[in-house]
Amino acid sequence: MNKPGVEICTLIIENRECGGRSDQTILEVAEEYGIFIPTLCRLSGLSNIGACRMCLVEVKGSNKLMPACVTKVQEGMEVTVNSPKLAEYRKTVLELLFSERNHICSVCVTNGHCDLQALAQKLGVNHIPMPYIHPHLMVDASHPRFLADHNRCILCTRCVRVCSEVEGAHTWDLMGRGTTVKVITDLKRPWGESESCTGCGKCVQVCPTGALSEKGQAAGEMLKRRQFLPYLSMMREVGR
Amino acid sequence: MTKAKNPKARVATVWLDGCSGCHMSLLDIDERIILLEEKIDLVYSPLVDAKDFPENVDVTLVEGSISSVEDLHKIKLIRKNTRVLIALGDCAVTGNIPSMRTVFPLSEVMDRVYDENADINKQLPTKIVPALLERVMPLHEVVDVDVFIPGCPPSADNIFLAVSELLEGRVPNLTQTTRFGA
């Protein structure tokens, strides 16, 4: 049942011999073998973009680190998932994310249900060594049902991808450069005035943090419901 | 009669810019406080009467962020006189809620509190209360911190575990049982 040009590869991930198809990524094969690689921007059902750099792995013979979510497997590859260097880089990425915006977990709507918070705990981030930037950011409460709190945004673009790839509206996108990048609705109009937004709320549910939430939630109350995504993604594939 | 070979550890707790919730959580260790009492001398704390931070302290737990010139002065003295400094809770570890004012210029914060929102006697405080810093900081931005216990507040179990481990001469590993925000 293989697609033309797709071959079966044998490779080594974390000292284990693994088999995969040449159209699969290192991350997909690792997951089939129960090998954990941390991810943050990635969400199954959306395209992979390798933005957050959490899934960086070492590939023998290359002096560059590779994002496992967008690197296809090859015959004879030797992949290292856990090393002191990778652990250090992953922690630093998380620390920089915390230092860049105002992540006040204790009063956040997703406290206890947040992908950033959970990953920080899992990877042993217990303080942020670099000074916090404390940027002055706004909360967009113009939408009747949803809130966009840029203080909590990590620019993973899950909202951009789900809106474009699954809902087909492409209301969300990015604006700016470097640390000033923000997610915007339409051409930076308030969310409530967006003409393209269908109000479906998929962006809210896939957001890993408290950046996008439903109105009326107190600290720790915003649970994200993502059950719809595998089904809609499957239907999209079928329709192609 | 049963004088211990090792003298009791000298322990201090400090309350900087926080809500005292971490101290409440410390008291939530309940009857285990008697176990601690057998091993420690509480030489300085909001819970005891000492007025000046003493010298030669083995372990100090600091709650709260560095928000005023007084906090800044205290934390430097605490560090100088302490062997193991613990950042207790999110305010000490991250700045947490007190740091939310840092996004505004201090003058705007002062005007908001003492002018716009004051009904009577509108005036900026200039005496007795310590001046606020422009920027609220976690402890480790000012001094070296030996142990971080995140949480708002950290659970009583984690506080007890951390102090118990230190009293046994071990560095506590709390990374899997504590996190920012809880």
Q: Is the pLDDT of residue A4 over 90?
A: no
Interchain proximity B87–A136, CB inside 8 Å: no
Residue A2 lies in a domain: no
Answer yes or no: do B103 and A104 touch at CB < 8 A. no
Q: Does A129 share its domain with A64?
A: no
Q: Does the structure show a pLDDT above 60 at B150? A: yes
Residues A12, A74, single domain; the answer is yes
Kindly state whether residue A49 falls inside one of the protein's structural domains.
Answer: yes
Specify whether A21 is located in the same domain as A75. yes
Q: Is the pLDDT of residue B94 over 60?
A: yes
- Same domain for A114 and A73, yes or no, is no
User: What would the pLDDT profile of A30-73 be if each residue is shown by its tens digit?
Assistant: 999 999 999 999 999 999 999 999 999 999 999 999 999 999 99
How many angstroms separate the CA of residue A98 from the nearest CA in chain B?
A: 10
Residue A169 lies in a domain: yes
* Residue B164 in this model has a pLDDT that exceeds 70: yes
Q: DSSP character for B17? A: B
* Same-domain status, A220 and A127: yes
Query: Of A44, A66, A82, at which residue does a domain stop?
Result: A82
Does A205 lie in the same domain as A114? Answer: yes
Regarding whether A204 and A141 lie in a shared domain, the answer is yes
Residue A186 lies in a domain: yes
Identify which has the larger pLDDT, A205 or A237. Answer: A205
ipTM of the complex: 0.92
Instruction: Determine which helix (DSSP H) or strand (DSSP E) holds B158, and give its type and residue range.
Output: helix B156-167
Segment B27-38 shows an average pLDDT of 94
pLDDT in tens, A158-173: 999 999 999 999 999 9
Bridge partners of B27? none
Residue A115's domain comprises 108-228
**Taking the alpha carbons of B129, B131, B134, B135 in that order, is the dihedral positive or negative?**
negative
Mean pLDDT of chain A: 95
Q: Is residue A238 part of a domain?
A: no
Q: How sure is the predictor about A82, in pLDDT bands with cuts at 50, 70 and 90?
A: very high
- The conformation of residue B122, written as its DSSP 8-state character, comes to -
% residues pLDDT > 90 (chain A)? 91
CATH no. of B9-101+132-167: 3.40.50.700
Other beta carbons less than 10 A from residue B154's beta carbon: 30
Are A129 and A28 in the same domain?
no
Q: Which of A65, A82, A99 is the last residue of a domain?
A: A82
Averaged pLDDT, A122-139: 97
Q: What's the pLDDT score for residue B182?
A: 83
The CATH number covering residue A50 comes to 3.10.20.740
**Contact criterion met (CB < 8 Å) for A106 and B102:** no
Does residue A99 surpass a pLDDT of 90?
A: yes
Query: What confidence score (pLDDT) does residue A137 get?
Result: 96
Residue B32: half-sphere exposure toward Cβ, Cα within 13 Å: 13
Please indicate whether, in this complex, the C-beta atoms of A134 and B140 are within 8 angstroms of each other: no
Return the domain boundaries, chain B: 9-101+132-167
In a domain, A100, yes or no: no
Both tokens of residue A173? 């996108």
Residues A23 and A69 in one domain: yes
Give pLDDT tens digits for B96-144: 999 999 999 999 999 999 999 999 989 999 889 999 999 999 999 999 9
Task: Take residue B154 and report the two structure tokens written for it.
Answer: 């950290």
How does DSSP assign chain A, residue by residue?
A: -PPTT--EEEEEETTEEEEEETTSBHHHHHHHTT-----SS--BTB-----S-TTEEEETT-SSEEETTTPBP-TT-EEE---HHHHHHHHHHHHHHHHHTT--GGG-TTTTS-HHHHHHHHTT--S--SPP------EE--SSSEEEEGGG-----HHHHIIIIIIS---EEEESSGGG-EEEETTTB-GGG-SS-----HHHHH-SSSSEEETT--TT------THHHHHHHHHHHH-
Q: Say which amino acid occupies A240.
A: R
Asked which of A44, A64, A82 is the last residue of a domain, the reply is A82
pLDDT for res B5: 59
Indicate if A194 and A125 belong to the same structural domain.
yes
Structural domain tally of chain A? 2
Q: Is the pLDDT of residue B1 over 50?
A: no
**Residues A37 and A136 occupy one common structural domain:** no
From the CB of residue A108, how many other CB atoms can be counted at a distance below 10 Å? 27
Helical packing angle, A115-122 and A84-100, nearest 10°:
140
Judge whether A99 is closer than 8 Å to chain B, CB to CB. Answer: no
- The confidence band for A179, taking pLDDT boundaries of 50, 70 and 90, is confident
Write out chain A residues lying below 8 Å of B97, CB-based. 104, 106-107
What is residue A238's predicted lDDT score, i.e. its pLDDT? 83
Q: Give the angle subtended at the CA of A121 by the CAs of A203 and A44, to the nearest 5°.
A: 35
Check whether A2 has a pLDDT greater than 90: no
Q: What is the widest separation between alpha-carbon atoms in chain B? A: 63
Q: What are phi and psi of B118, to 5 degrees?
A: -95, 135
Cross-chain Cβ contact A135/B175 below 8 Å: no
A124 close to B (CB below 8 A): yes
pTM of the model: 0.94
Q: How confident is the model at residue A5 (pLDDT cuts 50, 70, 90)?
A: confident
3-class DSSP state of B94: helix
